[in-house]
A and B are shown apart, each in its own frame.
Chain A
């Protein structure tokens, strides 16, 4: 059973517009969430994270929002750039299991010039 779900396999947006990537989770024990970005033929790289004590975390063009009641988080990229085209993975962690990240299936973002 997928505890972390990214229901949109792909997303296409125009350069300069906002990209919104969504992620849902089922395990209420998750208390830390991360987004990773992956380019072809490379490993995933960390992008941004958020603790469950917050509902928003911002880093430059990237903002992650967390809605604990809905068990939903989203990544906003504003403005989107062609270099943002990649696969984005949502991941979740529980402090009771210090090492383990549970990843979603990924969403492929294409930003068109």
Chain B
């Protein structure tokens, strides 16, 4: 299994630009999570989906952030417009089965907004 795939691995953009991060979960997993890692706050859950339906988006910082999961094998996290404070590493994770199954993380996308 290829694991969770994220693209791009690195993104450098200018303030005000739209940024789209992509994730392909592990086949068969029915949960998908988007996290943001910063030095100050560690790993923060932004949003998660179950069976392609958003369940909890309370971690999404503001309306500039949006996430979609059009099918079981693809999800996007979009930031529009981007700001320098959005600079962070964004991780996608997936899991299947019971509540206590472990989450499998992708390698992350390092976003830098200038």
Tell me the complex Cα distance, A60–B111, Å: 37
**Which of B4, B42, B98 contacts A103 (CB under 8 A)?**
B42
- Let me know if A59 is at the binding interface, CB within 8 A: no
Residues in chain A near residue B42, CB distance under 8 A: 6, 89, 103-106
Main secondary structure of the interface of B (DSSP, over half): strand
Tell me the complex Cα distance, A93–B48, Å: 14
Contact count band on B: 20 to 34
**Are A42 and B107 neighbours in the complex by a CB distance under 8 Å?**
yes
- Let me know if B33 is at the binding interface, CB within 8 A: yes
**Are B4 and A99 neighbours in the complex by a CB distance under 8 Å?**
no
Main secondary structure of the interface of A (DSSP, over half): strand
- Let me know if B13 is at the binding interface, CB within 8 A: no
Tell me the complex Cα distance, A102–B58, Å: 13
- Let me know if B108 is at the binding interface, CB within 8 A: yes
Interface residue count for A (Cβ, 8 Å)?
Answer: 26
**Are B102 and A43 neighbours in the complex by a CB distance under 8 Å?**
no
- Let me know if A70 is at the binding interface, CB within 8 A: no
Residues in chain B near residue A91, CB distance under 8 A: 43
User: For window 67-114 of chain B, which residues contact chain A by CB distance below 8 Å?
Assistant: 91, 93, 95, 98-100, 102-108
Tell me the complex Cα distance, A75–B16, Å: 43
**Binding-face segment, A12-20, A44-52, A77-85:** A44-52
With A44-B43, A100-B56 as given contacts, are A49 and B31 in contact (CB-CB < 8 Å)?
no
- Let me know if B45 is at the binding interface, CB within 8 A: yes
Residues in chain B near residue A46, CB distance under 8 A: 102-104
**Which of A49, A95, A99, A103 contacts B43 (CB under 8 A)?**
A103
Given contacts A36-B105, A43-B107, could you give 8 more A-B pairs where the C-beta distance is less than 8 Å? A42-B108, A43-B108, A44-B91, A45-B105, A100-B48, A100-B56, A102-B45, A103-B35
**Which B residues fall within an 8 A CB radius of A?**
4, 31, 33, 35, 40-45, 48, 50, 55-56, 91, 93, 95, 98-100, 102-108
